[in-house]
A and B are shown apart, each in its own frame.
Chain A
Amino acid sequence: MTPMVEAESVGKSFGDVEVLRGVDLVVEPGQVCCVIGPSGSGKSTLLRCINHLETIDTGRLRVGGELMGLREENGRLFRLRDSALGRQRRDIGMVFQRFNLFPHRTAAENVMEAPVVVRREPRAAARTRAVELLGRVGLADRADAYPAQLSGGQQQRVAIARALAMQPKLMLFDEPTSALDPELVGEVLDVMRELAREGMTMVVVTHEMGFAREVGDALVFMDEGRIVESGDPRTVLSDPKEERTRAFLSKVL
């Protein structure tokens, strides 16, 4: 089976700073892969490279077997134009740390936006599905609320529904609970847990070790742009092989 995500010695620099130094990663369909590591380790950058919010400098990055942002023809690589990149990104949902909901649209309008604008679905049908999706994240009654009228946890759940509206094959979560009050973290993790149970392929950058242990199929520990250690979450978390992993875990657990 083609891996959902396949990174081969991916490298990325911002100016003189090398953020990713040869990252290899494989995520199989249906797998939940959690990425942990100290800040500045490159875990968010790796996630943003997967849906081409950042371009990679070296290596190869495939999603569903397709090179992200590139097209190979007669052994030569060409950058994709805007619309073709958009077509690749439709299949990849992304949830941001700061939610990034559209503040001028209601919860339902946020969820409808991509189906209506990108896939040209009729508004009425898109709205029905949007309310359905909001129901799935427990917010059916807040469909007409603006983001500013929702709590952080509710906003993040709307953001998840918005990403699901394009029926993605892969969901990327960039520290989805880091901007939330502690008591609101649970409701977002519940939605993610449910999503994992339904078989969604997920890459989750997180500091929630409990979630990684319970829901994750694989755990990746990153430091200084490299994958230091990876494997079964329970094994890595309770019996890390690398000194660096041990040092990190001793501080966060």
Chain B
Amino acid sequence: MAEPATTGARPEPRDAAPVRHPGRWVAIAVLAVLGAMLVNTLLTNENFGWPTVAQYLFSAPVLNGLANTLVLTVLSMLIGILGGIGLAVMRLSPNPVLSGVAGGYLWLFRGTPLIAQLLFWSFLSALYPNLSLGIPFGPSFVVFDTNSLITPFLACLLGLGLNEAAYMAEIVRGGIQSVDHGQSEAAGALGMTRAQTLRRVVLPQAMRVIIPPTGNETIGMLKTTSLVVVIGYTELLTSVQRIYSTNFQTIPLLIVAAAWYLLLTSLLTAGQRVIERRYGRGVAGAVTEATPLVRLFSFRTGGKTA
């Protein structure tokens, strides 16, 4: 912006004293004391067991559990997102059979506890001892033993992924419906088919609405994977539980797990920001959100965020 010409006697609004915020300084003082207490206890309370934390942070069983957590999170979210897009498109279809089936899926998978679903998949053999591939009501070509086909790992993926798909479906549907109907009309008027319109025009714009809750879901999934303990699969939390059940160093090992979860969540948050920026193209004000560091800095000068 252009500087206004300064003429001698005129008072300058720039020189006006800023509004004082004494309450902020009181809050800072209180928080500083609490912060000092926290640092003090972290350093002096030996029950935190920092040496034990350091000893186990990179130990083989912990890293192995971490890897399993990561693989489960990534694959389950992949199933969830792809399944969710499919279900959302079905749900919005004018075909009553398709939208009804999608509605039924959501009703079932959102209406039963995830733990029950995990147990169901792992005990599938109690319902169907054998699974076969063939013509419905006709001959079968291949027969599998359910117990050897549905490994604990596959049961985890089915349980987490299929459940996630139901939740993702609603997120994707919300995103698709947030796109102005005029966009589809413009695309249709140009001769695009409905599939082309969805892929090229509607979904890219829906992404802006879909990404933040999907980031939430991914971060949630990172920790929900610990539920697979009920079917005996090992991930980050179960692997530290196994360690502290033998050496009774409960708190230090929980800190180990928490540290890894926090690190992964931080990485996911950063990743989400990058993706949001990518899909914020063309939207005024989508990218220019001040980072906490910038806000903290401007706070010193009277809390004015430029």
Contact = CB atoms under 8 A, between A and B. Distances in A.
B183 A118 contact: no
Interface string B175-216: 000001011011111111111100011001100000000000
Contacts of A98: 182
A103 B191 contact: no
B32 to A, nearest CB: 43
A89 interface: yes
A223 interface: no
A48 B194 CA distance: 17
A146 B282 contact: yes
Interface residues of B, number: 24
A83 B201 contact: no
A224 B204 CA distance: 40
Contacts of B195: 82
A159 to B, nearest CB: 8
Contacts of B187: 102
Interface in B147-196: 180, 182-183, 185-196
Contacts of A117: 192, 196, 200
Contacts of A96: 182, 185-186
Contacts of B201: 102, 113
Contacts of A92: 189
B127 interface: no
Interface in A38-74: 51, 53
Contacts of A113: 190, 200-201
Main secondary structure of the interface of B (DSSP, over half): helix
Interface in A152-181: 159, 162-163, 166
A104 interface: yes
A53 B201 CA distance: 17
A1 B96 CA distance: 44
Interface centre among A96, A101, A114, A166 (most CB of B within 10 A): A114
Contacts of B192: 86, 114, 117-118
Contacts of A82: 193-195
B279 interface: yes
B283 interface: yes
A45 to B, nearest CB: 13
Nearest to A114: B190
A19 interface: no
A103 B185 contact: no
Interface string B109-136: 0000000000000000000000000000
B193 A104 contact: no
Given A113-B200, A117-B196, A118-B196, A104 B282 contact: yes
A58 B195 CA distance: 29
A118 B186 CA distance: 13
Contacts of A51: 189
Contacts of B182: 96, 98, 100
Contacts of A101: 186
A183 to B, nearest CB: 22
A105 interface: yes
Contacts of B279: 104
Interface string B204-233: 110000000000000000000000000000
Given A105-B282, A148-B282, A148-B284, A53 B191 contact: no
A53 B188 contact: yes
A121 to B, nearest CB: 13
B46 to A, nearest CB: 56
Nearest to B180: A100
B282 A87 contact: no
B281 interface: yes
Give the interface centre of B189, B201, B284 by most chain A CB atoms within 10 Å: B189
Interface string A97-129: 010111111100000011001100000000000
B189 A102 contact: no
Interface string A191-227: 0000000000000000000000000000000000000
Contacts of A90: 190-191
A147 interface: yes
A83 B193 contact: yes
A32 interface: no
Given A117-B196, A146-B281, A89 B190 contact: yes
A94 interface: yes
B190 A162 contact: yes
Contacts of B281: 104, 146
A118 B190 CA distance: 8
Contacts of B185: 53, 96, 100
B189 A147 contact: no
Given A100-B182, A100-B186, A103-B205, A89 B191 contact: yes
Given A102-B205, A148-B284, 7 more contacts: A82-B195, A102-B183, A104-B205, A104-B281, A114-B191, A117-B196, A118-B196
